[in-house]
């Protein structure tokens, strides 16, 4: 079989890709095929090391393996929701891609493969590993982590936390310094640092919290900033969101994640409004009715950016017609903007 090379790409997050390369030469068939006990790794300095192939029994994984301290995967976020992409697969056919570890004092420290380790513990299934010499450097370990993300890429937040550590270790004070050191754009660094700075209480509201879309982080950062600006306690905000969703079943993780983000926005807005005096809103009747309990009102926020319509005791047919007209008008507006 021909050699297969995999090297770090421009997203490598802990080494300068222009001066640092890590290659894995893999002439291996599937684990289901021929039994091979050695594998050559070419590290970033060109040194070649042999890894030994071992298999840890399912009932021994917890006592014989741990996750390496340099592995950036958020272990607290590992659960059945976040393992949905591989748990059933491993249950049906076992692990077909080895993890990577170093052996220290008789314990295997997983550099890569902590998600597979979680599944194997849960299913009592064998965990295959490539075990590297324990004298490889931290730089080599960082390179291996970046190059060998075989199951799922690290989230912006997980990478951002590593960036924060790297900035501290090198006494960097700006994103520009770190970006130059790593060899990626300042904007890439900024987005990941932004994700790392989001309060963990907001992150933990989501099922598969390290699997949320990267686009969520900017909105969460803005929500957190607005809450702090308005003096809204994040613990209270999170409790409101949890209470609002109590008893709801998670049928679709992606849809649930989106709904939680929307709930955060809506509930924060309501909590913010409660902290402001009622006079901040100006309300007037759209139409005057003879019945004092019947009304149609419009309210404007103090800054004029928010508008509310309130109806009471109107015929259901009228309500449906009003809703139809609003949808028609807004849909037309969206179509016109899309043509610009």
Give the Å distances, CA to CA, from 187 to 65, 144, 169, 175, 256.
37, 24, 21, 8, 29
pLDDT digits (tens, 9 = 90+) for 284-336: 999 988 888 899 999 888 777 788 889 898 888 999 999 999 999 998 888 88
Per-residue buried b or exposed e for 161-185, using 16+ beta carbons within 10 Å of the residue's own CB: bbbbebbeeeebeebeebbebbebe
> SS3 string of 238-282?
HHHHHHHCCCCCCCCHHHHHHHHHHHHHHHHHHHHHHCCCHHHCE
Give yes or no for residue 192 having a pLDDT over 90: yes
pLDDT at 267: 92
Nearest to 306 by CA among 263, 272, 264: 272
- Could you tell me what percentage of the chain is helix, strand and coil, using 3-state DSSP and rounding each to the nearest 5? 45, 20, 35
pLDDT digits (tens, 9 = 90+) for 243-270: 988 888 888 889 999 999 999 999 998 8
pLDDT digits (tens, 9 = 90+) for 202-243: 999 999 888 899 999 999 999 999 999 999 999 999 999 999
Taking the whole predicted model, whether its pTM rises above 0.75 is answered as: no
pLDDT at 196: 94
pLDDT at 145: 74
pLDDT at 148: 66
Give yes or no for residue 280 having a pLDDT over 80: no
109, containing H or E segment: strand 107-112
Start-to-end C-alpha separation, the chain: 54
Instruction: Please give the angle made by the CA atoms of 83, 89 and 92, to the nearest 5 degrees.
Output: 130
Domains of the chain, by residue range, sit at 4-153, 155-197, 201-274, 281-339
How much is the average pLDDT of 48-75? 89
């Amino acid at each position: 079989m021909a050699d297969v090379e995999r090297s770090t790409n421009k997203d490598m997050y802990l080494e300068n890709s222009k001066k640092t390369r890590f290659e894995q030469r893999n002439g291996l068939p599937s684990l289901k095929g021929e039994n091979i006990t050695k594998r050559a790794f070419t590290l970033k300095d060109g040194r070649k090391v042999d890894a030994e192939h071992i298999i840890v029994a399912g009932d021994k994984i917890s006592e014989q393996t741990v996750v390496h301290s340099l592995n950036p995967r958020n272990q607290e976020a590992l659960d059945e929701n976040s393992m949905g992409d591989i748990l059933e697969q491993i249950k049906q056919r076992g692990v077909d891609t080895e993890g990577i570890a170093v052996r220290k004092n008789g314990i295997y420290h997983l550099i890569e493969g902590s998600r597979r380790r979680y599944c194997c513990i849960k299913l009592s299934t064998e965990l295959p590993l490539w075990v590297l010499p324990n004298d490889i450097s931290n730089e080599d370990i960082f390179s291996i982590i970046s190059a060998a993300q075989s199951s799922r890429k690290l989230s912006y937040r997980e990478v951002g936390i590593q960036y924060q550590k790297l900035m501290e270790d090198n006494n960097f004070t700006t994103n520009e310094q770190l970006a130059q050191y790593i060899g990626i754009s300042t904007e890439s660094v900024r987005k990941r640092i932004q994700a790392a700075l989001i309060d963990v209480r907001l992150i933990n509201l989501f099922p598969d919290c390290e699997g949320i879309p990267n686009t969520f982080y900017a909105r969460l950062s803005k929500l957190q900033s607005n809450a702090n600006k308005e003096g809204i306690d994040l613990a209270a905000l999170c409790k409101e969101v949890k209470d609002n969703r109590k008893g709801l079943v998670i049928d679709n993780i992606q849809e649930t994640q989106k709904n939680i983000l929307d709930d955060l926005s809506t509930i924060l807005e309501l909590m913010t409004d409660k902290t402001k005096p009622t006079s901040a809103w100006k309300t007037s009747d759209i139409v005057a009715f003879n019945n004092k309990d019947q009304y149609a009102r419009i309210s404007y926020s103090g800054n004029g950016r928010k508008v509310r319509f309130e109806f009471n005791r109107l015929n259901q047919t009228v309500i449906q017609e009003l809703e139809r007209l609003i949808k028609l008008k807004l849909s037309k507006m969206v179509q016109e903007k899309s043509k610009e």
